[in-house]
Structure 1
Amino acid sequence: MKFHPDCVAARREAADWEEAIRIVGSLYEEAGIATQEYADAMINGVKEFGPYMVLMPGLAMPHAKSTAGVKRPGTAVVTLSAPVEFGSEANDPVDTLISFAAGDNKGHMKMIQALAATLSDEELIAKIRAATTDKELAAIFDNAADGDDAEGDFEGLQPH
């Protein structure tokens, strides 16, 4: 299974990590995936638990509980024009955010599995970081999807 984003945004400007997460949240809102509550929950997670979502150098995976305003499952990829600090000594600064909003616990685990495959693909991560437009960023995933019938298949994982 591979990851395919519902929302993409290349080279966005963010003054800090909180604004970067708000960009993800606004994409979810515009797509009808989640409400503002989900962005708030992602931000509160960092404030409460620290930069746990900064998984590797330059890359964060913002997410929160499905009960926090998720309307339907979805994913997002945002790259920043300039990296921001999350407070992770080992992995700051962050220039790429790969996020998910799951409808339930089963969906949460399925999305983590799909994202794990993406994060382990160094060539794909390099292409994501190199994309300069939303269209170019979306095309990276469209090309990766060729021949993969499980791509983006999060249907049936709607919130109950």
Structure 2
Amino acid sequence: MSIMNLIGDNIVISNEQNLTVDAALEITCSKLVEQGKVETTYLEAIKQKHKEIGAYYVLAPKIAMPHARPEDGVNEAALQITVFKNGVDLESEDNGDVFFSVTLAALDSDSHIQTIVALSELFQNDEDIEAIIAADNEASIANILNKY
């Protein structure tokens, strides 16, 4: 199964600058909340966890995967892709600004294993990550993601 099955049209390209952490996280969950795939409590749980332990979801330079627990408000398994054209400082000391974010909404701790495997393959492909960040429309991003 392609990760695009979980993404659908949940691709956001943000040109905003100087975003706060909370504002950036709101963008990374915007389509999921809008479509009812997650409750606003899910976004609040991510923000709260960030306040407690920092940017736990920044996985590598340029890459973040915001997520919370399924019981924090996931209604349907889904992913949202967000590209921050100007980068965003999510307060990760080790990894710098984030340009590419994949918000993960999983229904339980087991069913998304295949999704995580596909995403890890993507995250290891610097060429595709750079192409996603450079893309100027959602269709170009979707074409790259269809490989995973």
Common topology (TM > 0.5): yes
**CA distance in structure 2 between the partners assigned to 1:55 and 1:2 by the alignment:** 21
The amino acid across from 1:3 in the alignment is: I
What TM-score does the superposition give when structure 1 sets the normalisation length? 0.80
- Considering only aligned residues, what root-mean-square deviation do their CA atoms show, in Å? 1.8
Query: Which stretch has the larger CA shift, 49-58 or 23-32?
Result: 23-32
Written as runs of structure 1 = structure 2, the 5 A alignment for 1:2-151 is 3-4=3-4, 5-6=7-8, 7-13=10-16, 15-142=19-146, 144=147
SS at 2:102's partner residue?
Answer: strand
Identity %: 29
What TM-score does the superposition give when structure 2 sets the normalisation length? 0.86
Q: CA deviation at 1:32?
A: 2.7
**CA distance in structure 2 between the partners assigned to 1:44 and 1:102 by the alignment:** 18
What does the per-residue CA deviation read over 1:44-68, in whole Å, with 9 as the maximum and x for residues that have no partner? Answer: 1211111121111111110000001
- The alignment covers a number of residue pairs equal to 144
For the 8 Å contact 1:10–1:137, the answer to whether it is kept is: no
Unpaired segments ≥5 residues, structure 1: 146-160
Unpaired segments ≥5 residues, structure 2: none
**CA distance in structure 2 between the partners assigned to 1:104 and 1:86 by the alignment:** 26
